Amino acid sequence: MSGEIETKLRGPGAYTLARQTMDAMEAHQVWPTAVNFELWAHYVAAPDSALGREIARLLSTGEAFTDTLADELAATYLPKAKLNDQIRDAGDALTKELDAVSRAIETAQKSSEAYGQTLAGASKSLTQHDSVDLKETVSILLEATKRVQRENKALEQRLAESTSQVTKLREHLEQVRRDATTDGLTNLSNRKAFDEELERACADAQAQGQRLTLAVIDIDHFKTFNDTWGHQTGDQVIRYVASVIGRVGAPPRFAARYGGEEFALIFPHESADIAVAVLEEIREEVSSRMLKRRSTNDDLGAITVSAGLAELHGGESAHMLMERADSALYVSKRSGRNRVTSAEAIASAA
């Protein structure tokens, strides 16, 4: 939860805000889950915020406030503070661990220096004084040697423990990164990860003079399907289509859920012709399976998808490429759906 909203919920008006939030949720028949409460607290407390405006827009369209929609809103508007907290906590732990290792190494260095000085002193005594008590000198060296051995053993143990701890922290940070860039429903990359990857891929392709193709894929008549069978069955369909796209779009291709029932697929170093063949494979596989409703085993029929794609032009930005791929998708939709349209083919025909 953002700092501003959290402060309000811990201040004098906390109960008033909480009651207003619950009243608003009840008025719109929204279940009082933790995620929903956090979203609606933002909406009630800060209606002019980006999240507040988006919820107001959704309410004006009459769209049902489902768990899937709530998860999408949370993934878009809420994770930054949580993610920053997790990264900060892991970073603080890593810093403390490295500080402890540095102190242990510093102690070992001082111990080694002291041991060297002891050896030098003993050597000087043996050289300059024939009458030196050899037994006493040997005793001093033996004690110094044992002390250094103990400290080195302690350092080795501390380094081994730190190595294990650093490994765990690295794994935790990697999991946080994966969670922040993964769509919870489909396990594909999310919109945030896609936007970053498209910018990077376009920049690399332009710098290296390599080909790059972008495709956007949309489930046909999904709203009608959702209204007929319900959102849980709609989620089942989204996961099915995502599984096909994710398998065909495995690395080095980059598959993502762009939002709702729309997906995106980046083809590094691949031309529009290759992308068309891949998208036809996806389209045919998706439509070839007769789906059943998981809860009742009712026949749902076949699902179809439409796709549009564009190949990167010299000097073109990621935004411009996305617009051309999106325009090609709309051509597929207007032409009867269940088809693939290339922006390059449209340009050639024109």
Positions marked catalytic:
261
- Write the DSSP string, 4-73: HHHHHHTSTTHHHHHHHHHHHHHHTT----HHHHHHHHHHHH-TTSHHHHHHHHHHHHT----HHHHHHH
What are the E-state strand segments in the chain? Answer: 212-219, 254-259, 262-268, 290-292, 299-302, 305-311, 340-342
**What letter does residue 130 receive in the DSSP assignment?**
T
Which tokens belong to 311? 């190949």
Distance of CA 245 to the CA centre of its chain: 18
Report yes or no: 187 and 244 within 8 Å, Cβ to Cβ.
no
* 137 backbone dihedrals φ, ψ, rounded to 5°: -65, -45
Which tokens belong to 156? 């080795």
Burial 65-100 (b: 16+ CB within 10 A, else e): bbebbbbbbbbbbbeeeeeeebeeebeebbeebeee
* 310 backbone dihedrals φ, ψ, rounded to 5°: -150, 140
Q: Name every residue whose Cβ is closer than 8 Å to that of residue 135 and which is 6 or more positions away in sequence.
A: none
